[in-house]
Structure 1
Amino acid sequence: MKLITQPVIPTIRFKNHSVKVFTFFIIISTLFSSTIFAQKKQKPNVIFIYADDLGYGDLSSYGATKISTPNIDRLAKEGLKFTNAHTTSGTCTPSRYALMTGNYPWRKKGTGVLPGNASLIIPIDKITLPQVFQNAGYKTGAVGKWHLGLGSPGKDINWNKSLQVGPNEVGFDYAYFFPATSDRVPTVFIENHNIVGYDKEDPIEVNYKEKVGKEPTGKENPELLKLQSSPDHGHNNTIVNGIGRIGFMSGGKQARWADEEIAHVFLSKAEQFIEENQKNPFFLYFSLNDIHVPRMPSTEFKGKSKMGLRGDVILQMDWTVGEILKKLKALDLEENTLVIFSSDNGPVLDDGYADKAVELAAGHKPAGVLRGGKYSAFEGGSRVPWLARWPEVIKPGTVSNALICQIDLLSSFAKFFQQKIEDTDATDSFVVMDALIGKDKIGRESIVKQGGALSFTKGNWKYIEPNNNEPFNKLTGTELGNDSKPQLYDLSKDLGEKTNLAGQYPNKVKLMAEELAKIKEAGGSR
């Protein structure tokens, strides 16, 4: 897209002075409007809506028949639906790390699923996705789940002072979030550097090794729980809002949120950010709590899906997306706003609470035709829904099978804004902007993903590295994709990864294993 900065006014001779003046202003007005339009197209507002634990088959636009998601489906009807879109990982923290840094998380230790008192794992001296937007003159905001750590490495977090190292330090002008996941302590909202509603007379202490304070736990007082924990998952520590959490917490009673309010609070803050920045280009990272456990929707959605609490929070999530679309329309922002909707990893039904998600699925297949789910090296772990709407650019009703990954957003937008990325930054992120807006049907050439094992996909072929880890997660009922022998699948004919072709194509296995090894060795430079 070419940006017009100096409109050229043609010389026109007029017999009538009034006609000359009138026509002159018409020309000026028209060219000025064109200039502004071009500038807008160069700098669209961007909203990235990140669902949590949403599967490839959880949306009606992706084939779900037991539940309807009309607001999210609008993005497909009015924009672009991807069928070959991926996270880098089968779990949340590593996927989010890759999104923010442009680096494969398996290259760095400590990027697994974090506790609520972990240090920040995003380097503050490297380029990040929000910094790309900041460098382009955008206002940047993060609202929702964070789960990338807070504070400096090696230092314990003091929850009773201003939290100085977090989203703001890696590129967000504004941040309203909770530290980890809603099933982990501390169960508080943080706005920029401060805990919302903090009372210095009730100091907060957080511990993931031993109990602190005298508050009841799910293990000691199960009779106090309004949502029972599944056995052996670890959701039986400090009880907050009638729900046992992972980890121990004391104090901060005034600051603690109720699960039923989370979706509304985050939506309110997201809408506020949009309203306050409507006259400037903005980037909003809207990281939803839904549909992560504990699934506890607001009252208006309880029982609405007839699929239990998991179905109810899917409907709440869909409503949230609808409200964002309404806000854009009300502010006359929808034409020049790119809205992207995706998920951080694949689905899981029983992930720590006895909410009858398995029993009430009623034939619903969260991963659709895919094998595996959250935590898995199979496609169900990391092939996710991805929808994009940008009315000024993206053709409505487009479907793309281009291979894309969330890790590529950083380099793609940097190129879009004509920014140079250092060779040691965003080493695994590639420029696929044309694919992201439906102009290219190929995308990236290959991708490495992590679940129970590392996998390497190139074209239609997928190779899963052999390993000796457990093949099945008994707690969640998920196939992890681990096998002591190499696995090879032709995804063009076998998207469900039912037939291992490694024995039939030993040369293909050898070549893909060698290429994966080279990618692993090449870390650290672009």
Structure 2
Amino acid sequence: IPATGDRVPCVYVENRRVVGLDPDDPIKVSFTEPILVEPTGRDHPELLKIHPSHGHDMTIVNGISRIGYMSGGKSALWTDEDMADVITGKAVEFIKKNKDNPFFLYFATHDIHVPRVPHQRFVGKSGMGPRGDAILEFDWSVGEIVKTIDDLGLIRKTMIIVTSDNGPVVDDGYKDDAVEKLGDHKPAGPLRGGKYSAFDGGTRIAFIVRWPGTVKTGTTDALFSQIDLMASFSSLTGQTLSHDAGPDSFDYLKTLTGKSKSGREWLVEHASNGRLSLIKGDWKIIEPGPGPKLNVNTNIETGNDTVPQLYNLKTDLGERNNVAPQKMKIFNELSDLLQKIKEGN
């Protein structure tokens, strides 16, 4: 998928080529200047099967208006409802083809990202609207991959990781009943914020490791970053990274496999607005800076504030009690460390 599903071009790419593209119907894409060959959601809402709540009102593909303008590539356009089947099928095919060789599969699902348009067999099954149905579809995709691994007898040879690229967002641009059906449920649990946020609701995400015979059942509080997967996988496979490859990635293979309870000494978090945070031990700081405190479109607290922020995550996981005024020495120490990290020291 060239971008997220809510952005053009809405085509599949395989081996650097657009799948099913007619060379006589080239694709044109713009995110600035309108390409008004195809209707837009802004001008023709009557053509939409899902309406945008904010943004997402440009070129219509499959009855859904997107971010950006495109024309051409009609024979290659995807059908959103079939996306999970298509990419899951490709993943299963890849595993079967490489069952006798070492392999690495990065499988990026789309289901829960907007637009949430699950296959008909999942529609209405969750009772929670398209967002809930899309979560069921995601669960099916993961299940198909796990089943393939197990059926091929690779269960004890394969590490499977299920994780996310960010915290939750409910309304991310389309009117799909997600907000209306949420009720009392809090997708981020006790965490504050969500996708885009400097608060941990934006970056502290699910991380599940499965490797029977190597990884024992349990949980860990060790600090670990997805960035560390690069160095940890290199260690696992006996590879040596060049000195300039993944300078922010560290080998925590023992943490990843549950052999050690210790993790990173510190971790830098990066919010969508560029705001940086630093976690070290029980403490977290958020850099002061300008910007709205609430993303009105998504109803998510951003973490922006012009004053220093310091939280004790051991006693205040939800980042509700800013203790910077009382503990400026700790804030300054972490702020100095963050500056050194930014400078490459």
TM-score, L = length of structure 2? 0.97
In the other structure, the counterpart of 2:251 is: 431
Given the alignment of the two structures, is residue 278 of structure 1 paired with residue 99 of structure 2, yes or no?
Answer: yes
Question: 1: distance between equivalents of 2:184 and 2:148?
Answer: 35
RMSD over aligned CA atoms reads 1.1
How far apart are 1:464 and its partner, in Å? 0.6
Give the direction of change, closer, same or farther, for the CA distance of 1:324–1:418 in structure 2 (3 Å limit). Answer: closer
- 1:24-423 matches, cutoff 5 A: 178-230=1-53, 233-395=54-216, 397-423=217-243
Structure with the larger RCO, 1 or 2 (CA within 8 Å, 6+ apart): 1
Question: 2: distance between equivalents of 1:462 and 1:275?
Answer: 44
How far apart are 1:347 and its partner, in Å? 0.7
How far apart are 1:213 and its partner, in Å? 4.3
8 Å contact kept, 2:193–2:201: yes
1:42-94 CA-partner distances (Å, limit 9, x unpaired): xxxxxxxxxxxxxxxxxxxxxxxxxxxxxxxxxxxxxxxxxxxxxxxxxxxxx
8 Å contact kept, 1:307–1:362: no
Counterpart code for 2:35: V
Counterpart code for 2:334: M
8 Å contact kept, 1:205–1:249: yes
Question: 2: distance between equivalents of 1:473 and 1:500?
Answer: 20
Question: 1: distance between equivalents of 2:27 and 2:236?
Answer: 44
Question: 2: distance between equivalents of 1:256 and 1:284?
Answer: 25
In the other structure, the counterpart of 2:307 is: 485
Counterpart code for 2:77: R
8 Å contact kept, 2:111–2:117: no
Question: 2: distance between equivalents of 1:408 and 1:187?
Answer: 32
Moved over 4 A (4+): none
How far apart are 1:295 and its partner, in Å? 0.3
1:182-222 CA-partner distances (Å, limit 9, x unpaired): 00000000111211111122221111112224211000000
Counterpart code for 1:407: I
Question: Percent of aligned pairs with the same residue?
Answer: 52
Give the direction of change, closer, same or farther, for the CA distance of 1:419–1:281 in structure 2 (3 Å limit). Answer: closer
Question: 1: distance between equivalents of 2:97 and 2:171?
Answer: 39
Given the alignment of the two structures, is residue 440 of structure 1 paired with residue 260 of structure 2, yes or no?
Answer: yes
In the other structure, the counterpart of 2:278 is: 456
In the other structure, the counterpart of 2:342 is: 520
In the other structure, the counterpart of 2:289 is: 467
Aligned residues between the structures: 343
How far apart are 1:362 and its partner, in Å? 2.3
Counterpart code for 2:26: P
How far apart are 1:427 and its partner, in Å? 1.0
Q: Give the secondary structure class of the aligned counterpart of 1:334.
A: coil
In the other structure, the counterpart of 2:326 is: 504
1:452-489 CA-partner distances (Å, limit 9, x unpaired): 42100001100111001221111111100010001011
Which structure: larger Rg?
A: 1
Question: 1: distance between equivalents of 2:16 and 2:64?
Answer: 26
How far apart are 1:392 and its partner, in Å? 2.2
